[in-house]
Amino acid sequence: MSRWVLMGGGVALFFVFVVIIPLSESRIVGEGEIRENRQLSTSALPNKDATETEIKKAVQPVKKVNDHGSKLPVFTLYFGVKDNFDRFIFANEGASDNEVTARFSVNATDMYEATTAMYAADVFTRYVEYKVALTNTDAEIDKVLTVSNESTITDVTYAGISLSDVEQKLATRDTLRLSYFSQEEYEYLFSADAAIDARALARLAIANDRDLSREQKRNEIFGQLNALDEQEKAAFQPTLDMEKINQIKQRYADSESRYQAIAAEFGHQVAERFSALWEAQALWQQRIDAYRKYQQHISASGMKEDARQDALSTYRHTHFSSTEQKRLRVLVDTNS
């Protein structure tokens, strides 16, 4: 089940901006609609070839001395239990819901004190039912908005995504979670994701704020991203790196200064790549400017319309490839 919703920014500074809401699941349904033998999709998990040891890790408890006369440890809820549940589900991909929960119950019985093993199996069973419920509705929380590399941070249309719609769907999902789990269980299973969701929602609110300028939106959003802890910030590092590179480009006018500044921050390989990119962009812009100048010359020549169009067509075919001509028409002809 996909866990990321990305939201972010708009036009022509040559970097990718993504504001991410990690939504662990994407769909919501009533408890009565859960059916047996549905397949659980866990494509967000990395490695399908889980070993027996890895499967057993999925049910490892925080060890405590128990008062039940058993040598087995007591199962207790712990932060990260949801990720381990997901690993166990992924390791058993292809099995029916009942088969997955039965296998977990056997493992739990082998690993935990009997009473708490029953509780571990119960929580896991409810988690499976919850995951199935989410995958069988039309409430698409997990929308991904990837902004093109010609985009900036504030001009995104959000492809119809509204702040109120996202807030409502997140609230509905929380209601569903609490219908399967107690408040304490919710804290261990979902509180970390909920905190990340809240921060991403705040970034979406900033991007939608019409009272803020583009520069103010940029500063507030990047300020929040830079304040994240290292683990959460890692998902945004490409975006943050591209922002630094863009700032270097704006700060230095000459190519040598840009190269040295990027090399000092990211290494010579990155500096060479961006130097080549910016040089190619500059040459392309020169060719566009030359075409515009030729357009103006032809327009002022007094030639008849058919002759002008023939002259422009000849110039395009002489100086631009077929692919470049398509780009040229978008950039020049539509604005002429």
pLDDT digits (tens, 9 = 90+) for 86-143: 999 999 999 999 999 999 999 999 999 999 999 999 999 999 999 988 876 544 455 4
**Encoded tokens for 81:** 């239990």
The residues that bridge with 5 in the sheet, in sequence order, are 21
DSSP secondary structure string for all residues of 196-265: HHHHHHHHHHHHH-TTS-HHHHHHHHHHHHHTS-HHHHGGGHHHHHHHHHHHHHHH--SHHHHHHHHHHH
* Crossing angle between the packed helical segments 97-111 and 114-134, to the nearest 10 degrees: 160
pLDDT tens profile 227-240: 888 888 888 888 88
CB distance 3 to 23 below 8 Å? yes
- Give the model's pLDDT for residue 18: 40
Residues (pLDDT < 50) of the chain are: 1-51, 54-55, 62-63, 65, 138-140, 143-159
For residue 203, give both structure tokens. Answer: 């970034």
Please enumerate in sequence order all residues whose Cβ is within 8 A of that of 153, keeping only pairs 6 or more positions apart, or say none. 8, 9, 10, 17, 207, 214, 217, 218, 221, 222
Using CA atoms, how far residue 187 sits from 65, 71, 120, 174, 191, in Å, is 23, 29, 16, 11, 5
| φ and ψ at residue 6, rounded to 5 degrees | -115, 135
C-alpha span between 304 and 287 (Å, rounded): 25
- Predicted pLDDT of residue 137: 53
Contact present, 17 and 1 (Cβ < 8 Å): no
Please count the other Cβ atoms lying within 10 Å of the Cβ belonging to residue 114.
12
Count how many residues are written for the chain.
Answer: 336
Cα 50 to Cα 31: distance, rounded to the nearest angstrom: 30
3-state helix, strand and coil shares in percent for the chain, rounded to the nearest 5? 60, 0, 35
